[in-house]
A and B are shown apart, each in its own frame.
Chain A
Amino acid sequence: MLNSEKEQQGRGKKQSQLREVLKRLMKNKTAAVGMVIFLIIALASVLAPVLAPYDYAQMNLDETFQTPSREHLLGTDEYGRDYLSRILYGGRFSLGLGLCAQLFSLFFGVILGCFAGYYGGKTDNLIMRICDVWQSIPGILFTIILCAALGTGWINTVIAMGLGGIPGNCRMIRAQLLSLREREFIEAEHAINCPSGKIMFRHLLPNAISPLIVSSTMGIGNTINGAAGLAYLGLGVQPPTPEWGALISAARAQIRYYPYLILYPGLMLAITILSLNMFGDGLRDAMDPKLKN
Chain B
Amino acid sequence: MINYIIKRLLTLIPVVIAVAIVIFTIMYFVPGDPAKNILGQDATEEQLQRERELLGLADPYFVQLGKFLYQLFIKLNPGTSWLSGFPVMTELRVRIPRTLLLSFLTMALGVAVGIPLGVTAAVNQNKLPDKLCMIGSMTFISIPDFWLALEAVILFGLRLHWLPTFGMSSWKCWILPVVCGSLPGIASNARQTRSAMLEVIRSDYVATAKAKGLAPGAIKYKHALPNALIPLITMMGGHLARCLGGSMILENIFSMPGMGMYLTTGITQRDYPVVRSVVVILAIVFGVVMVLVDIVYAFVDPRIKAIYENQTFNLAFWRKRKDA
Q: Which A residues are closer than 8 A to B by beta carbons?
A: 124-125, 128-129, 132-133, 136-141, 144-146, 148-149, 151, 171, 174-175, 178-179, 221-222, 225, 228-229, 232-235, 245, 248-249, 252, 255-256, 262, 266, 269-274, 277-278, 291, 293
Contacts and interface: CB of A to CB of B under 8 A. Distances in A.
A139 B323 contact: no
Contacts of A278: 138
Given A138-B240, A256-B154, 7 more contacts: A137-B23, A138-B282, A139-B242, A141-B279, A144-B264, A228-B144, A229-B145
Given A225-B144, A270-B139, A273-B141, A137 B283 contact: yes
Nearest to B16: A136
B145 A149 contact: no
Interface in B267-285: 267-268, 275, 279, 282-283
B230 interface: no
B319 A125 contact: yes
Given A138-B286, A144-B264, A133 B249 contact: no
A20 B182 CA distance: 39
B249 A233 contact: yes
A164 B112 CA distance: 28
A269 B138 CA distance: 12
A255 B151 contact: yes
A286 B316 CA distance: 35
Most buried by B among A125, A233, A269, A293: A233
B244 A145 contact: no
B47 interface: no
Interface string B196-239: 00110010000000000000000000000000000000000010
A100 B282 CA distance: 29
Contacts of B128: none
A269 B146 contact: no
B241 A255 contact: no
A235 B245 CA distance: 14
Interface of B: 14-16, 18-19, 22-23, 26-27, 29-31, 125, 138-139, 141-147, 150-151, 154, 195, 198-199, 202, 238, 240-242, 244-246, 248-249, 252, 263-264, 267-268, 275, 279, 282-283, 286-287, 290, 316, 319-320, 323-324
B17 to A, nearest CB: 9
11 contacts: A136-B19, A141-B279, A145-B23, A145-B275, A171-B323, A179-B324, A228-B146, A229-B145, A233-B249, A234-B268, A245-B144
Contacts of B23: 137, 145
A129 B300 CA distance: 26
Nearest to A147: B267
B245 A140 contact: yes
B125 A293 contact: yes
Most buried by A among B146, B246, B268, B323: B323
A137 B29 contact: no
Contact of B245 (A125, A139, A148, A175): A139
Contact of B199 (A132, A249, A255, A291): A291
A252 B290 CA distance: 35
A146 B16 CA distance: 18
A8 to B, nearest CB: 34
The 4 nearest A-B residue pairs measured at CB: A140-B245, A273-B142, A138-B241, A148-B267
